[in-house]
Amino acid sequence: MKVAIVYFSGTGNTYRVGEVFKEHLLSTNHEVDLINVNRQTIKLRGYDLFIIGSPTYSKAASKKVVDFIHEYIDDEQNKSKDFITYITHSWGEAYGHITLKKHLSKLVYNVINAQPFLMPNGFYMMNHEKNTETEIEALHRNVMEKVKNMMDAYFNSQSQIDKKSVVKQAIFETMYKALSKSWIPNFANKYLSIDNKKCILCKMCVRQCPNQNIKIEDSKIVFSDYCLACAKCLNMCPQNAYRANNKTFEQYNVIQPSIISQLK
Ligand SMILES: Cc1cc2nc3c(=O)[nH]c(=O)nc-3n(C[C@H](O)[C@H](O)[C@H](O)COP(=O)(O)O)c2cc1C
């Protein structure tokens, strides 16, 4: 079977879950491509199964992934294929996997499994707490078990759609759309700043920003007003020069590589 795992990820969680799906499928002799929505420029074809993952933003799915479904997956050739959706979230209830299912179902795709994954919080400078190492390890172990269960269910032809209120899903999607027009695009300008004593103008954030929202002008980092609030820049800055709400942000180092290597 040929599988496309399609994801968007700011702080590494959704990527990490995609990677676990990939490792699991490779170990059971399937062909797998792990595809970042930011790097794909042509329609996806020739896959038997699509696994589509997104971070949760305001309880909904990232606009990047929803737009990608319409632009690069919607194709007559994919109509008879199977789909699995997942979202990663860090607190409370999340509805993004159901948002993705709704968009795919409207396009007449067959979504067999839709599940949330609770992950370490990469947005804790704005909301809730930073996770401890013990919590992070437990969350990553849970990912491995859940991925295995999801794929076992899929290969046993069992549907596993997480039950969620469709009314709440629609409300949260509408709220996220409204925030995407106002608060979110200005997030970096409003809440982020750079410690210029630490910044070495390495341009890593400029290159890695998924929406090209970061530039260097007059030897300083500046933000435009099309931020996604994905928190990638803060988490991956090699100098930890980013400040959030005027405070130094204590990074997780993206996907906690030391912990992940221990779990392998
Ligand atoms: C702008 C923003 C809004 C978020 N809103 C929620 C939310 O409503 N509920 C939640 O559980 N997590 C929320 N989160 C946390 C992320 O969904 C979570 O950490 C996710 O795993 C990040 O995925 P990534 O690491 O692949 O970017 C939010 C994060 C950001 C940056």
- Ligand 1 centre distance from Cα of residue 55 (Å): 6
Pocket test for ligand 1, best of 9, 15, 63, 127 (most atoms within 8 A of CB): 127
Is residue 127 a contact partner of residue 121, using CB atoms and an 8 Å limit? yes
The rounded distance, in Å, linking the Cα atoms of 108 and 225 is: 35
- The predicted pLDDT at position 263 comes to 44
The burial of 156, by beta-carbon neighbours within 10 Å (0-12 exposed, 13-18 middle, 19 or more buried), is given as: exposed
Mutation to probe ligand 1, out of 123, 139, 184, 256 (largest number of atoms < 8 A from CB): 123
Q: For each of the domains in the chain, give its residue range(s) and CATH number, in order of start.
A: 2-177+257-263 (3.40.50.360), 185-248 (3.30.70.20)
pLDDT at res. 260: 47
Are 8 and 36 within 8 A, CB to CB? yes
**pLDDT score recorded for residue 251:** 73
Non-local (6+) Cβ contacts of 45 within 8 A are: 75, 77, 78
For residue 116, give the nearest of 144, 93, 82 by alpha carbon: 93
Ligand 1 neighbour 124 (Cβ under 6 A): no
Give the pLDDT score at 92: 86
Kindly give the distance from the C-alpha atom of residue 58 to the centroid of ligand 1, in angstroms, as a whole number: 7
CA separation, residue 167 to residues 99, 164, 171, 212, 241 (Å): 11, 9, 6, 34, 42
Q: What is the pLDDT of residue 122?
A: 79
How long, in residues, is the chain?
A: 264
Exposure on the CB side of residue 99, measured as CA atoms within 13 A: 32
- Our CA angle for 149, 261, 202, nearest 5°, is 120
Tell me if 117 sits within 8 A of 143, measured CB to CB.
yes
Of 148, 177, 167, 163, the C-alpha closest to 116 is 163
ipTM of this predicted complex? Answer: 0.99
Residue-level pLDDT, tens digit, the chain, 264 residues: 999 999 999 988 999 999 999 999 999 999 999 999 999 999 999 999 999 999 999 999 999 999 999 999 999 999 999 999 999 999 988 999 999 999 999 998 999 999 999 999 878 777 788 888 899 889 999 999 999 999 999 999 999 999 999 999 999 999 999 999 989 999 999 999 999 999 999 999 999 999 999 999 999 999 999 999 999 898 888 888 999 988 887 776 544 554 444 444
For residue 252, the model assigns a pLDDT of: 67
In angstroms, the CA 15 to CA 248 distance is: 25
User: Residue 192 in 3-state DSSP?
Assistant: strand
Residue 258 pLDDT: 46
Give 29-32's long-range contacts (Cβ < 8 A, gap of 24+).
Answer: 30/1, 30/2, 30/3, 31/1, 31/2, 31/3, 32/2, 32/3, 32/4, 32/5
Ligand 1 center–CA 32 separation, angstroms = 26
Say how far apart CA 115 and CA 113 lie, in whole Å: 7
